[in-house]
């Protein structure tokens, strides 16, 4: 007995819908589980067994995190560095990508190889610290912005995308009397939105999640702290409190404080707090992100 085409299409749609729903649940579960743990009583979270809904609902985990006096300053610093580093980095990397994407650039291959070498060879932390010290960036707010303005990988991705653009666009601009910078700004950049959104999202996430720079290069000044660094300190305090309690060295006041928080609950709360801003930005860049990754990866 043959199944009609309409019936087979309907069966395929049903199977496809069920399969995609399974994938959606599979991908959303870690986030929803983390959200449930962050909204659950800290002491109860240690027992485990929390899946998609908090067993004992509470907001004390978030209260513990937001009690930090420096959190607002850290949030402002994180937003400012993310915006400035991303915008400035896109401008610098796209300019460099435009230069090395031009066939008439004589040193094209040499510069590209030079950029690639920096991706595989690194001086290390100590020489980097000395360099930043000589540049006056230690305990300076600009340490969050200046070092991240240029990235070899980002330049290569943007260059690869630009090489796929029709040469006639640049040639027409030159015939009309446009210089290289005007051609770059008015002709090339507007049609590079997909790759710029892709690289911009990478840079924004990297800058937003970075706490190590604050820890190494700006920890001496509290007003330069960033959100991720403060959240890491909160998590460290919670883990230290748990260790002290387990060793029996925690005072009564500390024991009472520990009853309100735990490393598991604080870790989940920090994850949610740190992820929400990026999740708010991602939907606006999603279509550009997918297109930029696809085109930038298949054209060479």
C-alpha dist (Å) from residue 139 to 134, 135, 214, 234: 12, 11, 9, 22
**276, 215: one domain:** yes
**20, 142: one domain:** no
Q: Which two tokens stand for residue 110?
A: 């040499």
Cα 151 from Cα 92, distance rounded (Å): 9
User: Partners of 120 in the beta sheet?
Assistant: none
Of all residues in the chain, the percent with pLDDT exceeding 70 is 86
**99, 242: one domain:** yes
State mean pLDDT over 46-62: 86
**180, 238: one domain:** yes
Residue 170 lies inside a defined structural domain of this protein: yes
Alpha helices by DSSP H, listed for the chain, are 5-38, 42-45, 60-66, 71-101, 108-120, 125-134, 152-163, 167-175, 180-183, 193-209, 212-217, 227-247, 252-260, 263-298
> Degrees (nearest 5) of the Cα angle 8, 9, 10?
90
- How many domains are contained in the chain? 2
More confident residue, 118 or 256: 118
Residue 79 lies inside a defined structural domain of this protein: yes
Each residue of 110-143: pLDDT tens digit? 998 888 888 888 878 899 999 999 999 999 999 9
Q: What is the DSSP letter of 187?
A: I
Domain containing residue 245: CATH number = 1.10.3720.10
Cα 157 from Cα 237, distance rounded (Å): 40
In terms of C-beta distances under 8 Å and separation of at least 24 residues, what long-range contacts does 113-120 make, across chains too?
115/152, 115/155, 115/156, 116/152, 116/156, 118/152, 119/152, 119/153
pLDDT on residue 251:
44
Contacts with 227 (C-beta within 8 Å, 6 or more apart), sequence order: 71, 74, 75, 77, 78, 208, 273, 274
**112, 258: one domain:** yes
* Mean pLDDT of the chain, nearest integer: 83
Q: Which two tokens stand for residue 26?
A: 């599979």
Residue 51 lies inside a defined structural domain of this protein: no
pLDDT on residue 19:
92
**141, 283: one domain:** yes
Is the confidence at residue 221, as pLDDT, over 70?
yes
Contact 38/57 with Cβ under 8 angstroms? no
Domain extent for 290: 60-299
pLDDT on residue 77:
93
**38, 69: one domain:** no
Each residue of 24-43: pLDDT tens digit? 888 888 888 999 998 998 88
**25, 105: one domain:** no
Residue 256 lies inside a defined structural domain of this protein: yes
**133, 102: one domain:** yes
**15, 80: one domain:** no
């Amino acid at each position: 007995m043959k199944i009609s085409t309409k019936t087979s299409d309907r069966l395929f749609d049903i199977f496809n819908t069920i399969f995609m729903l399974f994938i959606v649940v599979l991908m959303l579960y870690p986030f929803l589980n983390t959200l449930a743990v962050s909204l659950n009583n800290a002491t109860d979270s240690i027992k485990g067994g929390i899946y998609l809904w908090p067993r004992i609902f509470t907001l004390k985990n978030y209260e513990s995190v937001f009690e930090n006096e420096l959190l607002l300053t850290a949030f402002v610093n994180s937003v400012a560095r993310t915006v400035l580093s991303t915008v400035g980095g896109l401008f610098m990397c796209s300019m460099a990508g435009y230069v090395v994407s031009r066939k008439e650039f004589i040193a094209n291959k040499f510069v590209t190889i030079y950029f690639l070498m920096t991706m595989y060879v690194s001086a290390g932390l100590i020489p980097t610290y000395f360099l930043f010290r000589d540049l006056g960036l230690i305990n300076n707010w600009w340490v969050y912005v200046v070092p991240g303005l240029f990235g070899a990988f980002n330049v290569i991705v943007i260059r690869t995308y630009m090489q796929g653009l029709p040469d006639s666009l640049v040639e027409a601009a030159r015939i009309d009397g446009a210089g290289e910078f005007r051609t770059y700004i008015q002709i090339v950049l507007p049609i590079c939105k997909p790759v710029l959104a892709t690289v911009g999202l990478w840079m924004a996430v990297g800058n937003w999640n970075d706490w190590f720079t604050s820890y190494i290069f700006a920890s001496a000044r509290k007003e330069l702290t960033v959100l991720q660094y403060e959240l890491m300190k909160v998590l460290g305090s919670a883990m230290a409190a748990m260790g002290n309690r387990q060793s029996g060295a925690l005072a009564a006041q500390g024991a009472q404080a520990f009853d309100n928080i735990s490393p598991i609950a604080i870790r989940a709360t920090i994850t949610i707090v740190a992820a929400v801003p990026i999740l708010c930005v991602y939907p606006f860049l999603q279509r550009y992100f997918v297109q930029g990754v696809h085109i930038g990866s298949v054209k060479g």
